[in-house]
Amino acid sequence: MSRERDTRPPRPRTAPKSAPGTSVWPQRPPAAPREAHVPAPSRGEETRLYGLNACLAAFAHRPEALRKVYLTASRMGALKNVLAWCVKQRIGYRVVEEADLDKLTASRHHEGVCFDLRREARLQLSELLARLPEPPSPCVLLWLDGVGNPHNLGALLRSAAHFGVAGVVVPEGAGLDVSGAAARVAEGAAEVVPLAFAPAAADTLAQLRKHAFAIAATVPRQGVTLYDARLPARIVLVFGAEGQGMSDALIAAADLRLTIPGSGAVESLNVAASVAVVLGEAWRQHR
C-alpha cells in the first residue's frame, strides 16, 4: 500500500460567519491508493534516477534539481536528510512498495529509491574544453564512438571517476545519455564526470587539437601494446562499440593506436573493461 506525505502547508478555510476572524484547518488528505497512477517525468524537462548511491550523489551535487522522491519504508533512514530537505522545500515524497518502484523505474534494480529531477542542460564540447586546465597541464578525456549500451556507459563513468578523467565526449545525435540505468551502474560517478556532446568528428578533432590534446584510438589488434606505449599526459582516449568498433576514419586520424594485450582466447574486452584497463595504465604512468 503506498502512502504519500503532503509537505505543503494546509490552506485555511473561511470560518462560519458566526465566528468572524477565525479559520478552520482542513484535515490531512487520505493516503493515495496503491493503484494510483504516477505520472512519468515531463519529457525534456525532468529525468528519473534510481539506485541509492546514484540518488544520494545527485542530491549532494544538485539538491535544487529535486522534484519528487519515491522510496520504500526501509530506505527512510538512509534518506532522512533528503526527506528533511523535501519537508523544508515543500517537495513531495511518497513511501511506496517494491512493486511500485519496479513499475516506476522499469527495473528491479532500483535499490528502494527513485528521484524525479530537473534535467540538466546539455554540455557542449566547447563548454567542457573551456573548463579544463590550460596546456601543458595533464588532462585525460574519453571519446566514445558508437557506444550505446547504458550499462557500459555507467560502468565506464565509474572507472573514469576513479581515475580522475575530466570528461566523456559523445557525438551529438548518437542517442547516448545518462539514463536511470546508466546512473545506477555508475554509482554516483555520473555526478562527477561530465558528459559533453560533440559536433562532427572532424570538428571535434580540430577543437581537441587546438587545446593540445593527443588522440589515442584503442584497437583490438595492430596497435602499440598498451604497456609498451608512453602515453601523453594530455590525451583523449577513443573507444568504439563492441562488434563494429570505431570508424576507420577516426582510427586513421589518431596520433596513436593502442592495443590491450591478452591471451587471444577472445577477440577483445568489452568497452567498459577496456576503459578501466587503459585508464589504469595512464594513471600508473602519470600519477
CB 62 within 8 A of CB 117: yes
15-55 per-position pLDDT tens digit: 334 333 322 233 333 333 333 344 555 456 899 999 999 99
- The yes-or-no verdict on residue 242 having pLDDT over 90 is no
- Of 82, 100, 118, the residue that ends a domain is 118
56-89 per-position pLDDT tens digit: 999 999 999 999 999 999 999 999 999 999 999 9
Across the chain, the runs of DSSP E, i.e. the strands, are: 3-5, 13-14, 23-24, 46-50, 66-71, 93-95, 113-118, 123-124, 139-145, 167-171, 195-198, 214-218, 224-225, 234-240, 256-259
Average pLDDT on 168-195 reads 94
CB 55 within 8 A of CB 49: yes
Strand-by-strand arrangement of the 93-95 sheet: 3-5, 93-95, 66-71, 113-118, 46-50
- The yes-or-no verdict on residue 173 having pLDDT over 90 is no
149 falls within a domain: yes
14 falls within a domain: no
257 falls within a domain: yes
The CATH number assigned to the domain holding 260 equals 3.40.1280.10
- Of 97, 118, 139, the residue that ends a domain is 118
Q: Do both 109 and 141 map to the same domain?
A: no
Q: Do both 269 and 130 map to the same domain?
A: yes
- Of 86, 118, 150, the residue that ends a domain is 118
Which domain range does residue 101 map to? 3-9+29-118
Provide the pLDDT for residue 41: 52
Provide the pLDDT for residue 33: 34
Provide the pLDDT for residue 250: 94
Provide the pLDDT for residue 165: 98
CA distance 14 to 11: 10
197-208 per-position pLDDT tens digit: 999 999 999 999
CA distance 134 to 212: 9
Q: Do both 70 and 169 map to the same domain?
A: no
Q: What is the pTM of this model?
A: 0.83
